[in-house]
Amino acid sequence: MMLSLRRVFAAVAVGAVAMLGTVVGAAPAQAALYDCPRSFFCLYKWINHDGGRWQVNADTYPTGNCWTLTNSTYTTGGTVYDTSASFHENSSRRRTLTIYNWIDCQSGGGSLTIPLGLYEHELNLADINWYHKISSIRIT
């Protein structure tokens, strides 16, 4: 009986270590939010700041210039144009960034202004009706 009880305790200990390893191993997926470098605005391919990332230095990007995302790609490949599912802004300057649902920063498809320097983020752009709709951006 004692030998069987030791095997049960050993099995429980091995299971606990395996579960702990699984939890510890899951942590990097949650770290994606902090993968957006300081001073940058980042768009992510998937919700929860996951998948590939596209970024622009929001602190140094020339104000007033429009960036159409048709030729932009995520770090994992794939076009950014109309495919973003989440964003994070990690800018240190108080500026504004406007996203457009149209090329060349035309507001015909709608636009949304995001204050920079407040470390705003959206885990799921569907929550604000912008899922897979960002075509161009402008910082002012």
Interval 110-136: pLDDT, tens: 999 999 999 999 999 999 999 999 999
Average pLDDT over residues 90-116: 95
Which pLDDT does position 35 carry in this prediction? Answer: 87
Q: What is the pLDDT of residue 67?
A: 97
CATH 3.30.420.40 fits 36-139, yes or no: no
The per-residue pLDDT of the chain, averaged, comes to 82
CB 98 within 8 A of CB 27: no
What pLDDT does residue 38 have? 94
119 — phi, psi (to 5°)? 60, 45
Q: What separation in angstroms does the CA of 66 have from each of 15, 25, 63, 80, 100?
A: 54, 40, 9, 15, 10
Q: What pLDDT, in 10s, does the model give residues 19-28?
A: 333 333 333 3
What are the domain boundaries of the chain?
1-34, 36-139
Provide the H-helix boundaries in 31-140.
none
